[in-house]
Structure 1
Amino acid sequence: MSAYTRLLFACFSLVSLMGCSEPQKDTDIRSRGFIYCGQDTPTIFNPQLTDGGLTTDTLAAQIFDRLLVLDPVSHQPLPGLARSWSISDDGLEYTLALRKGIEFQNTDWFTPTRQLNVQDVIFSFKRVIDPSHPFFNISGGRYPWFESLAFDKLINDIVAIDSHTVKFILSRPDNSFLSNLATSYAVIYSQEYGQQLLQAGQLNQLDMKPIGTGPFYLDQYIPNDLIRLKRHWGYWQGAAPMDQMVFDISSRGTGSLAKLLSHECDVLSSPIASQLSVISDNSEFELMAQTGMNVSFLALNNNKPILQDIRVRKAISFAINRDNLLDSVYYGTGTKAKSMLPPMSWAYNHKSQALDFDPEEAIRLLKEAGYDNKLTLSMWVPTEPRPYNPSPRKTAELIQANLQAIGIQVTMSHQDKLDRISMGEATSFDLILAGWIADNGDPDNFLRPLLSCNAKQVGLNIANWCNLDFDNLLELALRTSRLDQRLNYYHRAQNILDQQVPLIPLAHGVHFQVHHKSLGGLQMSPFGTRSFSSVYRSE
């Protein structure tokens, strides 16, 4: 059944967020909106509680706004809900002036009585960092992205200067702070809505029936089927041209491509590389590409005694033929990764000494370590395509063959979806195929959330690796305001990764998106987030 047809029957679903609208109103969705395919099913609508996926990459940009946004070219913070900011000389106080006249969304479950003010900002961030906040433990009480940055330790306090001026007081200087406020995790909620739910004893609804200031509000959610957003007429940057948009979350892969070609979908996110030629040959569609701030990597579980031997870790890296991965998985669209940082990062180390394909050296190191033809490892493999890895299953099979060639047998466990919380709770794997899409342009965003000792402590460093020298370099890089010093610290941190091999960078992917040519105003971002506030239909 197509998404168009499903919309007509959505009112009969018990999990619908709203009462049924008249069926005939949905028959002309193509003239009033569009359907977006190719994403996973969210488990929650609050990006603060997630570690990537549809909620963070796409939904958050429609429902919520942030204090700041990122310039897609320079990667520098720009005004968002905050119109301006200032930083104290010691780098410990950030004062932001909020815009006035910002309206929250009006839905069947909430009618705002006031506009955005400083209390909404304090409410949104203290929910994440303050254990005494009434919503801190709701929906599991885990904030993976914030936890990996030790955000609660960074923020000493958040205070209201007046109704539209907020001050963040830090425990130490942090040059990435403004960039972090611009990520899709740092969304602003309505304190008034939170208070209403608190009085009604319905705290969980904050995350399942969200209220933000974004261009669209959540209207309907049917798990494993569809999500419908409606236009927020009071949006502060002007109401979106489209009345609604629908996420078809019922299938992936070739199923989504078939829906695109049969006009059941208007937009397809992240088509896999093997589909690009079919799309390019069809004059009805336009293919967009964005060089991504991302990396695909193989994490090595450094808690395992076998993988604590650096010779084994280096042998695995030497065994992997990255050029073959680019040809067979990325179809020439990706870039071989020599570092966790992509080449477009200003801190990329062009003199990286990362290990390259050398199976003979891999065999020698294994023999030296005493594992000559005697080693079996387990690998967890996600099946969901992502911009950094268009075909994880195929990638895993190629790595399995590479390792078998040097005497390492690999058993694979396929998972529909893996995030760092679920992986942090798992202890049996040796290897995990994973990846990362940057949330902002700061190098710290690649290194700290994935590899810091704090990320390991909170169970989000899936390589289970901690190196105090590495952490110290990251701290020094955040504390200095001199760009040349920051660059030196990040290069030295990358050198440690090259030498210690806690994980193996594989490739940097290109993010593709295809849409029907009748749609205009679609945008792409190197950080995966994209707002549909300017999308329109020309025919």
Structure 2
Amino acid sequence: MNVRWLRTALVAASAATLSACSPTASDTRLASLVFCSEGNPESFNPQLATSGTTFDATARTVYDALVRFNSETVTVDPALARSWNNLDQGKRWRFQLRDDVWFHRTEEFQPSRPFNADDVVFSFKRQLDDNHPFHDIGGGTYPYFQITGLSDKLLDVRAIDRYTVEFLLREKEPRFLEMLSMEFASILSAEYADWLTARQRPEQIDQHPIGTGPFQFVSYRPNRDIRFKRFDHYFLGAAKLRDLIFAITPNTSLRLSRLRAGECDVMAQPSPAQHQFIRQIPELRLIQQRGLNISYWAFNTQKPPFQDVRVRQAFNFAINRQPIIDTVYFSSAELAVSPVPPSLLPHEQQIPIYRFDPLYARELLQQANFPFEQTIEIWAMPVSRPYNPNARKMAELIQEDLRHIGVKARIVSYEWREFLRRVSLGEAQSVLMGWSADLPSPDNFLSPLLSCAAMQVGSNRAFWCDQEFDALLQRALEANDPTTRQQIYLDALRMFKHQAPWLTIAHGSQSIATRANVKFVDLNFSGGVNFLRTEKSL
């Protein structure tokens, strides 16, 4: 038995017993927070997912990574790793790990040791090694691991000793540290995996998560709620909140109603139409900031009629995006010239722009022998996100513009988790989607969304693969001179605009709303929320 854990646990239990003798109703309310979230998570393992909805409920709540990206200083800071060294000209990275971090414990599973190098090896080998016993659990697809190229560039991960781990790369990767701060690099418990294997329940590793994060998973009821409780032994200090509840509420109006009624303390993604209303209510607060994101309409280039570039270009000319900005975003978004926000691309004006020209759009369709008798499908995501607060309304506006050039369209949608699954499989003929950056770089938009590797894992929603485009992205990563790198990205974006696998729509602001007695909800540049520092008052 671990004496240190037992001593800590006994002290905590004694304190809990004393404080529980006569708890007041206000104490209970102040220690619990209800977050009205917008949808079900894809999984409880962030290695398997790409959506912010999933990351809020996993990587930002239950798990930690070796390092953290600090958006204020634009640096990589220590997390589960205390320090690191770059060896062999960037082909070998050695990390010194913390020795004071514990995994969560449940009534069934009690960890016998602190976090160590075995957990890091397990977490990455599961994604890297096709023969790993847990590789195929949960489907065997690790989108970000593949999109970042680590599936090819990472040769091995090995434990040097209990608190030292080493990564061996095939070649130098300038983004490697930043990659390790991303959600797919969350660290899972190797001991928990062994425990589940011994009980023939390996799939539960992705359903009943055990991490080192500030909150511990308690239960999940699809379409209803996810319940967490504070992890008192969190290595950065225990959270202020005792209980955290994600009340799954896809409808934006209902989320606001629940917030006003006090059923929720924090509301995810209020629509731009609600912002002014929220500001006028004394008991509510709006937290808003510029987002690093993109909203787009992707054309499945593997399905007719979008195999023809003239059709894709025609649809770019056919859509008047300004009414979308005015109606869907209430003028709170920027018209998107390219997939990359202008703050990351100083010379955006050098990229061609599709003007609104329905007559020319119709001419292009006629040149392409477009089948006007057929009906185009526009898949619209069912949740509100910072990059697209109302995909259904956006689809209706696009549908009307298409009608003016003689194209019939119908709108398709599913429950969020099912929607993502189908879109990733390439079932959608065209789809309104979006993306929030994990890192502030052009590559974090272009590689995950438009590379050939991204097509293989389904995050390239247009299923467009161009080897020349991929080569430009790789050249940009290898360029040491910032001016040269920017020029290469501009060349790639000119190619993107000509091939037109998307219609770029908007870069949206991001926001959350809270009750006035809630403080310190952290909203990061990707739109994710973190409740480690959050407090409630009377």
For normalisation by structure 2, the TM-score amounts to 0.91
Tell me, what secondary structure is at the counterpart of 2:434? strand
2: CA distance, partners of 1:252 / 1:419: 16
Superposition deviation, residue 74 in structure 1? 4.6
Tell me, what secondary structure is at the counterpart of 1:399? helix
Superposition deviation, residue 458 in structure 1? 3.8
Q: Match of 1:5?
A: none
Superposition deviation, residue 316 in structure 1? 0.5
Q: C-alpha offsets along residues 445-480 of structure 1, whole Å, 9 cap, x if unaligned?
A: 211121111222344422121111100011122233
Superposition deviation, residue 500 in structure 1? 1.1
Q: Match of 2:453?
A: 454
1:216-365 correspondence to structure 2 within 5 Å: 216-346=215-345, 349-365=348-364
Tell me, what secondary structure is at the counterpart of 1:509? strand
Superposition deviation, residue 344 in structure 1? 2.4
Q: Match of 1:163?
A: 162
Q: Match of 1:510?
A: 509
Q: Match of 1:381?
A: 380
**Does 1:124 pair with 2:86?**
no
Of stretches 24-33 and 216-225 in structure 1, the one that deviates more from structure 2 is: 24-33
Indicate conservation of the 8 Å contact 2:250/2:384, yes or no.
Answer: no
Q: Match of 1:52?
A: 51
Tell me, what secondary structure is at the counterpart of 2:413? strand
Superposition deviation, residue 421 in structure 1? 4.0
Q: C-alpha offsets along residues 288-327 of structure 1, whole Å, 9 cap, x if unaligned?
A: 0121111110111111343222222111001111111010
Aligned in 2, Cα 1:107/1:235: closer, same or farther, shift over 3 Å? same
Indicate conservation of the 8 Å contact 1:173/1:478, yes or no.
Answer: no
2: CA distance, partners of 1:365 / 1:25: 70
Q: Match of 2:425?
A: 425
Q: C-alpha offsets along residues 66-95 of structure 1, whole Å, 9 cap, x if unaligned?
A: 111112235432222122222235322222
Of stretches 513-522 and 438-447 in structure 1, the one that deviates more from structure 2 is: 438-447
Structure 2: 5+ residue runs without aligned partners? 1-19
Runs of 4+, deviation exceeding 6 Å: 24-27
Tell me, what secondary structure is at the counterpart of 2:350? coil
Superposition deviation, residue 375 in structure 1? 5.8
Aligned in 2, Cα 1:345/1:219: closer, same or farther, shift over 3 Å? same
1: CA distance, partners of 2:297 / 2:167: 37
Superposition deviation, residue 273 in structure 1? 1.7
Tell me, what secondary structure is at the counterpart of 1:307? coil
Q: C-alpha offsets along residues 153-181 of structure 1, whole Å, 9 cap, x if unaligned?
A: 12111122222222211122222222111
2: CA distance, partners of 1:286 / 1:166: 44
1:394-473 correspondence to structure 2 within 5 Å: 394-417=393-416, 420-427=420-427, 429-473=428-472
1: CA distance, partners of 2:272 / 2:322: 16
Superposition deviation, residue 53 in structure 1? 4.0
Superposition deviation, residue 184 in structure 1? 1.7
Q: Match of 2:188?
A: 189
Indicate conservation of the 8 Å contact 1:38/1:271, yes or no.
Answer: no
For normalisation by structure 1, the TM-score amounts to 0.91
Aligned in 2, Cα 1:264/1:459: closer, same or farther, shift over 3 Å? closer
**Does 1:538 pair with 2:537?**
yes
2: CA distance, partners of 1:415 / 1:356: 32
Aligned in 2, Cα 1:108/1:199: closer, same or farther, shift over 3 Å? same
Aligned in 2, Cα 1:421/1:474: closer, same or farther, shift over 3 Å? farther
Q: Match of 1:176?
A: 175
Indicate conservation of the 8 Å contact 2:377/2:410, yes or no.
Answer: yes
Aligned in 2, Cα 1:348/1:68: closer, same or farther, shift over 3 Å? farther
Of stretches 410-419 and 522-531 in structure 1, the one that deviates more from structure 2 is: 410-419
2: CA distance, partners of 1:208 / 1:372: 45
Q: Percent identity?
A: 36
Aligned in 2, Cα 1:87/1:487: closer, same or farther, shift over 3 Å? farther
Q: How many residues in Structure 1 have an aligned counterpart in Structure 2?
A: 517
Indicate conservation of the 8 Å contact 1:225/1:249, yes or no.
Answer: yes
Of stretches 504-513 and 150-159 in structure 1, the one that deviates more from structure 2 is: 150-159
Q: C-alpha offsets along residues 350-374 of structure 1, whole Å, 9 cap, x if unaligned?
A: 4211313222322232233333955
Q: Match of 1:83?
A: 82
Indicate conservation of the 8 Å contact 1:37/1:268, yes or no.
Answer: yes
Aligned in 2, Cα 1:31/1:435: closer, same or farther, shift over 3 Å? same
Indicate conservation of the 8 Å contact 1:347/1:443, yes or no.
Answer: no
Tell me, what secondary structure is at the counterpart of 2:364? helix
Aligned in 2, Cα 1:214/1:366: closer, same or farther, shift over 3 Å? same
Indicate conservation of the 8 Å contact 2:290/2:509, yes or no.
Answer: yes
Indicate conservation of the 8 Å contact 1:77/1:178, yes or no.
Answer: yes
1: CA distance, partners of 2:207 / 2:154: 27
Q: Match of 2:35?
A: 36
Of stretches 319-328 and 305-314 in structure 1, the one that deviates more from structure 2 is: 305-314
Of stretches 487-496 and 86-95 in structure 1, the one that deviates more from structure 2 is: 86-95
**Does 1:366 pair with 2:352?**
no
Structure 1: 5+ residue runs without aligned partners? 1-20
Tell me, what secondary structure is at the counterpart of 1:512? strand
